[in-house]
Amino acid sequence: MSTLTTLDWMVIGLYFAILLGIVIAATRHQNTSTDYFLAGRNMGFFAIGASIFASNIGSEHIVGLAGQGASTGLAMAHYELHAWIVVLLAWVFVPFYYQSRVLTMPEFLEKRFGPRPRWILSIVSLAAYVLTKVSVTVYAGALVFQTLLPDTFGGPENAFWVGAITTVVLTGLYTVTGGLRAVLYTDSAQAVVLLIGSAAITYFGLERLGGWGELQTFTRENVAQYALWRPLSDPDFPWLGILIASPIVGIWYWCTDQYIVQRTLAAKDLRTARRGALFGAFLKVWPVLIFLIPGLIGAALNSKGMLNIPVDDEGRLAGDQVFPALVASLLPAGLRGLVVAGIMAALMSSLSSLFNSAAALFTIDIYEKLRPGASEQRLVTVGRLATGVVVILGLLWIPVMPMISKGGLYQYLQSVQGYLAPPITAVFLFGLFSERINNRGAVWGLGLGFALGMAKLTIQALFGRGKIEDPAFLAAIGDFNFLYFSGVLFLMCSIIIVVMSYTSDKPDPEKIRGLTFSSIDRDVVRASWDKNDIVATVVILSLVATIYTYFSFWV
């Protein structure tokens, strides 16, 4: 297995030099909280769309998706074909967010419902960022260092920690100094590197394997393990569970999570915000081909003895090692460095976006509520300090990751998100489309929903087959499929929200004007789009339908 050469290091060094220049240019004009958290609300659609894509595709996507491709085939492709949900963000959600002039999603909830839902969403979002996104992203990136540079720093374990700490600290520094403008500008460059590097893996992998036909043959021979649609009897990814849970998680992640939506709020106008989201949706069409398919290629090469992928204690492929193994074994010098730079780009773009979003949530939704008279400069300073705290907490959580990622990083993320998403998705959907839903319904829906979701996660960690099996009802809850549970939890939250709202007073129509579908300024919304937006939407949805159709019948 090859390691990095001098040429690879030169390419990586050039990448960082370019990144540094972008950050230095972006650090100017960071005087107000709007400058720092929303880049002065003056960004163009290309930077917004590229940042949406690059923020989503972190190292846990590159490493984790390839691992899922190798171990479970295309089962997770449904989550990666969420471009149609990003279209929903562009057309349905963005007009509400942009017209309300909010800085954060919890702030929007306060305008719609009152202060208590804002507090609940802020605290839960911050905890989720540290416990899932920061630590999982860093862990995945560090695995790449451990595989590619096992002897560079005195051993694989040292390489893991050097990679983790270096990338986190560097990302934290440029996020602290440059704010969202630095995040958006660097994400634009990183999205390009990411696409080039991952496409190269797909190309060279197919060339080594013998072409697309060989991959189809391998998949056909193992169709039960690698198919897009699984039977209802499948214990992990039954097709009905996928159809239920995937939209619930997708609407939460793409349409209500600060991590993604913050990019659209930085647009200079509503038209640009929509087009930025549509461009992000177009880029989101491709991860199946450039991240999941390489995992399938890796499994096929491994079955032919052309690639050596480690196995775990139960004899299964160590999926999270597939992508690093492909990089080290397939690519020539120079290009290998570019792909490593792409992985680092994914890691850093996701982390920088996450750091800035977490800082915005803490500063605007918690600190400013506790200190309402704070100056703009003070808010920026607190935001930078909050970023530093998130960096430290993420690093402290990394040692726990090997214990909770045994099913694959990406599957772990989706299961946890499947427990976090239902109450948030329900509250936002009911809040936008029904004027009758009120503060009481939102508080009970969010509060009970989160409690039930975390209870399921805790029980799942402790009870079930191979764990504690008594009492039987707790073991049954622990083993209950996470996809079905997302649907059950969404239904329960919806019932709670409706019942609690309809058994209490109606909201004041004047206080929620412009925040629901029936009261939004339709003239302003209509003036913000034209036939170009319609054409772009049709193209994106057609591409999603084409990919779904092809991979449903390709074997």
474: pLDDT strictly greater than 70: yes
Look at the chain and count its residues.
555
pLDDT tens sequence across 212-241: 999 999 999 988 888 899 999 988 889 999
Looking at residue 410, its pLDDT comes to 60
- Let me know the angle formed at the C-alpha of 80 by 544 and 348, rounded to the nearest 5 degrees: 130
Percentage of residues in the chain having pLDDT higher than 70: 88
With CA atoms as reference, report the closest residue to 487 among 230, 249, 232.
249
48: pLDDT strictly greater than 70: yes
Total domain count, the chain: 1
- Of residues 507 and 333, more confidence is placed in 507
pLDDT tens sequence across 68-113: 888 888 988 998 899 999 999 999 999 999 889 888 899 999 999 9
For residue 387, give both structure tokens. 């970023």
DSSP assignment letter at 230: B
Looking at residue 32, its pLDDT comes to 59
Identify the band that residue 40 occupies on the pLDDT scale cut at 50, 70 and 90. Answer: low
For residue 84, give both structure tokens. 């149609």
Looking at residue 312, its pLDDT comes to 67
- Of residues 491 and 416, more confidence is placed in 491
DSSP assignment letter at 43: B
Sequence-separated (6 or more) residues with CB below 8 Å from residue 518: 435
Instruction: State the Cα–Cα distance between residues 16 and 20, nearest whole angstrom.
Output: 6
In 366-481, which ranges are continuous DSSP H helix? 368-370, 376-397, 401-404, 409-433, 439-462, 472-479
347 with 409: CB under 8 angstroms? no
Find out whether the peptide bond into 507 is cis, omega within 30 degrees of 0: no
Residue 212 covered by a domain: yes
Sequence-separated (6 or more) residues with CB below 8 Å from residue 106: 117, 118, 119, 121, 122, 125, 258, 361, 365
With CA atoms as reference, report the closest residue to 135 among 146, 124, 145, 127.
127
1: pLDDT strictly greater than 50: no
Percentage of residues in the chain having pLDDT higher than 90: 39
- Of residues 408 and 356, more confidence is placed in 356
- Of residues 226 and 396, more confidence is placed in 226
Looking at residue 57, its pLDDT comes to 78
What mean pLDDT is reported for the chain?
84
Instruction: State the Cα–Cα distance between residues 356 and 38, nearest whole angstrom.
Output: 10
Residue 500 covered by a domain: no
With CA atoms as reference, report the closest residue to 66 among 309, 387, 364.
309
- Write down the residue that tokens 């489309």 correspond to: 433
The pLDDT of 234-249, averaged and rounded, is 93
Looking at residue 402, its pLDDT comes to 53
Instruction: State the Cα–Cα distance between residues 306 and 208, nearest whole angstrom.
Output: 8
Residue 245 covered by a domain: yes
Instruction: State the Cα–Cα distance between residues 144 and 324, nearest whole angstrom.
Output: 5
Q: What is the C-alpha R_g of the chain? A: 23
Residue 220 covered by a domain: yes
The pLDDT of 341-345, averaged and rounded, is 73
Phi, psi of 463 (to 5 degrees): -120, 150
Identify the band that residue 278 occupies on the pLDDT scale cut at 50, 70 and 90. Answer: very high
Instruction: State the Cα–Cα distance between residues 42 and 436, nearest whole angstrom.
Output: 35
Instruction: State the Cα–Cα distance between residues 68 and 226, nearest whole angstrom.
Output: 10
Residue 541 covered by a domain: no
CA end-to-end distance (rounded Å), the chain: 32
Provide the residue range defining the domain that includes 97: 6-402
2: pLDDT strictly greater than 70: no
For residue 264, give both structure tokens. 């659209």
Looking at residue 60, its pLDDT comes to 64
412: pLDDT strictly greater than 70: no
Could you count the other beta carbons within 10 Å of the beta carbon of residue 453? 23
401: pLDDT strictly greater than 60: no
**DSSP string across 175-212:** HHHHHHHHHHHHHHHHHHHHHHHHHHHHHHHHHHHT-H
Task: Look up the CATH number of the domain holding residue 251.
Answer: 1.20.1730.10
- Highest-confidence segment of 19-33, 117-131, 177-191: 117-131
The pLDDT of 243-270, averaged and rounded, is 92
Residue 444 covered by a domain: no
Identify the band that residue 29 occupies on the pLDDT scale cut at 50, 70 and 90. Answer: low
Looking at residue 526, its pLDDT comes to 94
DSSP assignment letter at 398: G
- Of residues 193 and 254, more confidence is placed in 254
pTM: 0.86
Residue 224 covered by a domain: yes
Looking at residue 200, its pLDDT comes to 86
299 with 69: CB under 8 angstroms? yes
Instruction: State the Cα–Cα distance between residues 150 and 32, nearest whole angstrom.
Output: 44
Looking at residue 30, its pLDDT comes to 57
Alpha carbon 197 to its chain's center = 19
Residue 15 covered by a domain: yes
Residue 179 zone, left/alpha/beta (φ > 0; ψ -120 to 50; rest): left
Identify the band that residue 404 occupies on the pLDDT scale cut at 50, 70 and 90. Answer: very low
For residue 308, give both structure tokens. 């050596």
Instruction: State the Cα–Cα distance between residues 141 and 139, nearest whole angstrom.
Output: 5
For residue 128, give both structure tokens. 């989720």
